[in-house]
Structure 1
Amino acid sequence: RTNQEICDGLFLSLSTVKTYLARIQAKLKARNRVEVAAWAWEHGAVHPER
């Protein structure tokens, strides 16, 4: 999802979403959000939609 879609769905400001994503990326030592998504998939944090 885009940052805007995330903030709309969670009722957060755009800057909050950007901050959260940057912190997650830093904690995972990921280079980009694709690597964050790959980590989430590999660790069972996301599931394919049914």
Structure 2
Amino acid sequence: MAGGDPGEVESAKRALKAAAIGYGLAILAPVLVTVLQSIVGAGTDGGGGK
């Protein structure tokens, strides 16, 4: 679709790279949330005792 235009080819490469990074982050998001919760301690009974 770029018709051999080097600028368009580079633009397409950047777009594909950004899309791949986005999909990767979307797949890893649940894992990252679990890790962050374990670091922060969210979801555990902190003994607040309400």
- TM norm structure 2: 0.36
Structure (1 or 2) with the larger CA radius of gyration = 2
**Bigger relative contact order (CA 8 A; separation at least 6):** 1
